[in-house]
Amino acid sequence: MEATELSAAAAGFLYIALAIARRRECWIAGGFSSALYVWVLVDARLPMQAALQLLYVAMAVYGWIAWSPAHADTRPRSWPPSAHGLALAAVAAAGLASAPLIARYGQSAAPLAESLGTWASVAATWMLARRCVESWLWWVVVDLGLATLFASQGLAWTAALYAAYALLAVAGWRQWRRALKAS
């Protein structure tokens, strides 16, 4: 399983590098990484994270379409604080509702952390696909939390990838913010 985890992490790193550069191909790398991570996370007893990877595969298709040349406006956008507040409230509500369910039925190793990390990832992915500059700030927090979760489950390569994601998210935020100001 370690080779699969390493392959998934490598493709994930490529995804984030391409996303920062606003390259459409990021969605191919992200979809491939997510498909591999389904197996890694099932094996690690993180069922919501495994299910999230399936959603990421679908979001990769959405991102590929949303970032197509037919959608000419590729500039980043900023969302108002009220939109982020609403997203944060939705993440908290969904996380608190799903944690007891996966604790009981999903046999999650870390139900609350997994639930909150999963729902925050959904929100951040949606924001990224919609080219929201602040999605990168969400990713800093989400990735650091998930790096801790994955390390606690013995997924060293994945924990390292998510720690790197957090650092790269800072770079992504800076680059997209400059692009927003230039437009």
DSSP string covering the chain = -HHHHHHHHHHHHHHHHHHHTT-TTHHHHHHHHHHHHHHHHHHTT-HHHHHHHHHHHHHHHHHHHHTSTTS-----B---HHHHHHHHHHHHHHHHHHHHHHHHTS--SSHHHHHHHHHHHHHHHHHHHTTBTTHHHHHHHHHHHHHHHHHHTT-HHHHHHHHHHHHHHHHHHHHHHHHHHH-
Round the average pLDDT of the chain to a whole number and report it. Answer: 91
143-161 pLDDT per residue, tens: 999 999 999 989 888 899 8
In a domain, 61, yes or no: yes
Asked whether residue 9 is domain-assigned, the answer is: yes
Range of the domain at 62: 2-68+92-182
Indicate whether 128 belongs to any domain.
Answer: yes
What's the pTM value of the predicted model, to 2 decimals?
A: 0.84
Number of domains in the chain: 1
97 occurs within a structural domain: yes
pLDDT at 136: 95
pLDDT class of 1 with cuts at 50, 70, 90 = low
Q: How far apart are the first and last CA of the chain?
A: 45
How far, in Å, are 41, 81, 93, 148 from residue 104 at the CA level? 18, 35, 18, 22
Is 35 within the bounds of a domain?
yes
Q: Is residue 144 part of a domain?
A: yes
Range name among 20-29, 62-71, 115-124, 147-156 with the lowest pLDDT average: 62-71
The answer to whether residue 110 is domain-embedded is yes
Task: Give the mean model confidence (pLDDT) for residues 173-180.
Answer: 92
pLDDT of residue 112 exceeding 70: yes
- Residue 74: inside a domain: no
Q: Contact, 114 vs 102, CB < 8 A?
A: yes
